[in-house]
Structure 1
């Protein structure tokens, strides 16, 4: 397929962006009108947007458009992303089925000193979300604990729920098996571990300041003990193995495949599951990723048509005509990710949608792909952790029975991440050894 520059003039074609506009109107507009931002599934909205994409540029034949759509959807980076998504889903499902989630949560709570229960809770959430690679899954598992602590200590439940959400978003940025990490690194063609290293330099200060604030706000409460359920150390090992292996730079395919087999073997040996339960958990985990995988394919095809028709060139020209430096380009990428997440309320969709645009901007201004991947994840995640209609906040308040708007003022980590992410735009991280591009 020819490059965009061979299809259109450098100024591009604004009309080619219509499919994205249709998606945003359908997804965001339906939420505003109905009051439920999840009534319109993202997949359905993008399928309709794909239909609009096929109707643009009427001079091209349908066969040509289908070829462009299929080649873009079948890009090697997208296919690699899909395989990782499926493996990550299978690992999470098997680990949960054999009791790994419950054991990890209960072990973490049992080792916390009573006087450090609340700040320790934040650290536990950070660890678990980093290990599990899912913020929503972490919130679902730990929000009931916030309820129990509130009942025992009299601490404001909204604050404790916000601590759970904030800690979950830390792991969303740092986990090697998080779909946002996978999507950000894949769209920019960099290694997962290199993107995580970049994130760590910004996430750590934000998390530390959050921890200090939490410690101050929770001091003076009569925290004496925490009820922790039973746990088996051996069932925690698969999470720790994947986490350590990821930090050591193990191949993500080998790491996740090995984690699936390891978790399954432990489950069978401890009689938590049998061989059929293992197979069923693998299938269930992969099935849970099917909608996301289909969405990624459709988004890839739509972006390919938009790019072919000159939409990408138009955005690049619109942004680059207003910026003169590499720093300005970074701010442009940050704004792009922020606006899309506020509109879609889904940080994974944001990264998948903004990723190709950010990559083109990065190539124009010779930006480090690791930096771009890190920025995409941070700016999408910080807003995702604050908006009252996002999946993370809605999951937490749904379990706790509090108002989503009521916890916003306690969401210290997402707010601090936004501040530190903006500061990091002007910082040169070239002292970090550049990793090789993902193959």
Structure 2
């Protein structure tokens, strides 16, 4: 986040020069994705090159370097790292405990194969992300388990992968402990409880659209034909659902997410030991020789190292964009020249939030960029209730953000899915699969319908009020219902 006393960065070439580092990063990521080489570790070089280009284009290199360091060291970065380290260990413990076998047993015994399993995976990710409020933690913690199990049960690899990302996006959008929920509510002066209550129909509508898509397109004919030949799994592995319940339960009780994940790790270790899936030596032990792994804890942390380093570099570039003031100038210009009505204001809130989220690697900073000034001013000017403006912001920031490969959530998702597929020996989806994630597209449709419906509803209320008042001034009458939530 940009500090009040931070000197604004000036680039050679003005606005175009300020955009060049981002363009370099995006070009590199798209290039790697097109040639099926996407992943957080391959993305390191792209981020390094983008940082270097910005250094030579910025007129004050010392200020540029300080901006990079500020981005790497802010609260968002430290929270991400701490959470991911625990989520990485959690995922390894869940795998070692046999949850994949447990899910296979459910699929084989209850017929939850193909598209049905994709819906089940989507629902599990929805619940986990709703409780924890973290999309990336959901992907890291559950992806290594749900993805291999689903492919083995006849799920289409691409649809299953985007179902996991969709479920993660759902919780990021709706969870009361999500940073986007907290930031959108705070910046608009709304109560979190009211925001969640009024956002629920929007999120559930988008989720319902996703369920239909997953049921219709979630199965793979080729993979389904091979399901009977696979092992039927082991019901004992379902014991590993208990750690999942512990994490969600603690998070819903408003315990700190780091605390919830740590206790989830401990319960996962205990459950895996009790059922005999692992031994104490598997968790931590002196390796036979230098360089070998000390056990599941080290393996879990190592699994997210690539994502952590990429996140640090991209968060540094995000801070540079904020300190350059580029996005604020563009958004203020759009506000001054394009928005003239309440419907236009609601559409504008969605549009500027989406625009702000495109270049930024994390969605909470995008909300902090547009929320306190531009969005709140629009809401007050056109009589939009705080809950409504908060919902429009939060839903909008959970759309395009979950489609583009340079965003941290998508980049981590790509790595987790690719690594899980390689480790389990199953098919992996295309690196461009994120563009087909249903939840963001469904939410865009839901937002468009919501804004259109409210515009028509306001016009009807205005017409009825005019008739009751004997044909008074239409503009005056429209002001009455303007603060509908």
- Give TM-score, length-normalised by structure 2: 0.64
Map residues 109-188 of structure 1 onto 2, 5 A cutoff: 109=107, 112=110, 114=111, 120-130=116-126, 131=128, 133-134=138-139, 136-137=143-144, 138-146=146-154, 160-161=156-157, 163-175=159-171
Structure 2 CA distance for partners of 1:6 and 1:210, relative to 1, 3 Å: closer
Q: Does 1:86 align with 2:88?
A: no
- 1:71 match: 70
Q: Does 1:298 align with 2:299?
A: no
Structure 2 CA distance for partners of 1:242 and 1:421, relative to 1, 3 Å: farther
C-alpha contact 1:90 1:286 (8 A) present in aligned 2: yes
- 2:398 match: 377
Structure 2 CA distance for partners of 1:276 and 1:393, relative to 1, 3 Å: closer
Structure 2 CA distance for partners of 1:84 and 1:322, relative to 1, 3 Å: farther
The offset of 1:45, in angstroms, is: 0.7
Structure 2 CA distance for partners of 1:50 and 1:285, relative to 1, 3 Å: same
The 3-state SS of whatever aligns with 2:154 is helix
The offset of 1:171, in angstroms, is: 2.0
CA distance in structure 2 between the aligned counterparts of 1:38 and 1:253, rounded to whole angstroms = 25
C-alpha contact 1:198 1:374 (8 A) present in aligned 2: no
The 3-state SS of whatever aligns with 2:153 is helix
The offset of 1:47, in angstroms, is: 1.2
CA distance in structure 1 between the aligned counterparts of 2:319 and 2:161, rounded to whole angstroms = 35
The offset of 1:182, in angstroms, is: 6.5
C-alpha contact 1:123 1:167 (8 A) present in aligned 2: yes
- 2:255 match: 250
- Give TM-score, length-normalised by structure 1: 0.70
The offset of 1:239, in angstroms, is: 1.7
Structure 2 CA distance for partners of 1:320 and 1:281, relative to 1, 3 Å: farther
Structure 2 CA distance for partners of 1:408 and 1:40, relative to 1, 3 Å: closer
> Aligned match of 1:259 in 258, 261, 264?
264
Map residues 411-426 of structure 1 onto 2, 5 A cutoff: 415-423=441-449
Structure 2: any 5+ residue segments left out of the alignment?
129-136, 187-191, 285-294, 340-344, 377-385, 455-482
C-alpha contact 2:170 2:439 (8 A) present in aligned 1: no
* Bigger shift: residues 123-132 or 284-293: 123-132
CA distance in structure 2 between the aligned counterparts of 1:273 and 1:393, rounded to whole angstroms = 23
CA distance in structure 2 between the aligned counterparts of 1:297 and 1:217, rounded to whole angstroms = 36
The offset of 1:188, in angstroms, is: 6.6
CA distance in structure 2 between the aligned counterparts of 1:301 and 1:261, rounded to whole angstroms = 33
C-alpha contact 1:81 1:183 (8 A) present in aligned 2: no
Q: Does 1:332 align with 2:347?
A: no
The 3-state SS of whatever aligns with 1:3 is coil
The 3-state SS of whatever aligns with 1:146 is coil
Map residues 266-277 of structure 1 onto 2, 5 A cutoff: 266-277=271-282
Asked which structure has the greater RCO (Cα within 8 Å, sep 6+), the reply is 1
The 3-state SS of whatever aligns with 1:109 is helix
C-alpha contact 1:122 1:167 (8 A) present in aligned 2: yes
The offset of 1:167, in angstroms, is: 3.3
The 3-state SS of whatever aligns with 1:236 is helix
Map residues 37-116 of structure 1 onto 2, 5 A cutoff: 37=38, 41-58=42-59, 60-62=60-62, 64-103=63-102, 105-109=103-107, 112=110, 114=111
CA distance in structure 2 between the aligned counterparts of 1:287 and 1:358, rounded to whole angstroms = 31
Structure 2 CA distance for partners of 1:198 and 1:123, relative to 1, 3 Å: farther
The 3-state SS of whatever aligns with 1:372 is helix
The offset of 1:23, in angstroms, is: 1.0
Structure 2 CA distance for partners of 1:50 and 1:81, relative to 1, 3 Å: same
The offset of 1:414, in angstroms, is: 6.1
Q: Report the RMSD for the aligned CA atoms in angstroms.
A: 4.7
CA distance in structure 1 between the aligned counterparts of 2:370 and 2:203, rounded to whole angstroms = 24
Map residues 207-226 of structure 1 onto 2, 5 A cutoff: 207-212=207-212
User: Considering only CA atoms, is the larger Rg found in Structure 1 or Structure 2?
Assistant: 2
> Aligned match of 2:370 in 322, 341, 361?
361
CA deviation vs aligned residue, 1:268-321 (integer Å, no higher than 9, x gap)? 222222223123212211222122222222222222233333333344345435
Structure 1: any 5+ residue segments left out of the alignment?
148-159, 341-349, 433-439
The 3-state SS of whatever aligns with 1:271 is coil
C-alpha contact 1:53 1:306 (8 A) present in aligned 2: no
